[in-house]
Amino acid sequence: MRRARAGDLDAYAVLVARYSTAAHRTAYLLGAGDDAKDVVQDAFVKGFRGLGSFRDGSGFRPWLLQIVANETRNLHRSQRRRGTYELRLATMTDTVDHRDPASVALVDATRTALLDAVKTLPEKDRLVVTCRYLLDMTEAETAQTLGMARGTVKSRLSRALKRLRPMLEGVADD
């Protein structure tokens, strides 16, 4: 641990190898599911960056597993937020009762507001949002279509939704 704290990457690699299984098991059992690998990877990166805050005499395993637990909670929070916006975006494109002109006008106005907001995004974010939500692709399909890593798709979606949130407040509720 002393060598890792001093910046020895090989020493940290030994810690990663030693505690990977416990970290994966923890992430999975705390509900990360298929994202457990990503959670663990993020936890090890944060652990490395946070070695300076590690208290001498403390155990590395409990410290690392606390980071894994925090990362799993962060995953749950982001999934809930993302789920809320996916639901709102899906609601905006639901079928309309075409016999009711007010309903048609409301859905058209909502779609227009959504498209106008999406157009304000930087191109890279706009492409990801368009593929994922407007073309109804999965994250994996979006990544493959745009030739980028799935993690990049996730981070760009997160950033784009954060930018869209204030622009769309109240739009889907009207």
pLDDT in tens, 106-123: 555 667 777 778 888 888
Question: Sign of the CA dihedral 125, 162, 47, 63?
Answer: negative
How far is it, in rounded angstroms, from Cα 27 to Cα 34?
10
Residue 87 pLDDT more than 60?
A: no
Domain boundary among 17, 45, 77: 77
Mean pLDDT for the stretch of residues 56-83: 80
Is there a domain that residue 164 lies in? yes
Residue 65 pLDDT more than 80?
A: yes
Residue 47 pLDDT more than 60?
A: yes
Residue 40 pLDDT more than 90?
A: yes
User: What does pLDDT average to over the chain?
Assistant: 79
- Where in the sequence is the domain holding 7, given as residue range(s)? 2-77
Is there a domain that residue 85 lies in? no
149 touches 156 (CB < 8 A): no
- Under the banding of pLDDT at 50, 70 and 90, the label for residue 171 is low
Is there a domain that residue 174 lies in? no
Structure-block tokens of residue 3: 């060598």
Number of domains in the chain: 2
Q: Domain check: are 24 and 66 in the same one?
A: yes
CATH number of the domain to which 138 belongs: 1.10.10.10
Mean pLDDT for the stretch of residues 155-174: 78
Contacts of 18 (CB under 8 A, 6+ apart): none
How many C-beta atoms surround the C-beta of residue 26 within 10 A? 24
Q: Which amino acid is at 169?
A: E
Q: Domain check: are 73 and 115 in the same one?
A: no
Q: Domain check: are 106 and 158 in the same one?
A: yes
Is there a domain that residue 19 lies in? yes
CA-CA-CA-CA dihedral for 73, 77, 80, 84, to nearest 10: 180
Q: Domain check: are 69 and 106 in the same one?
A: no
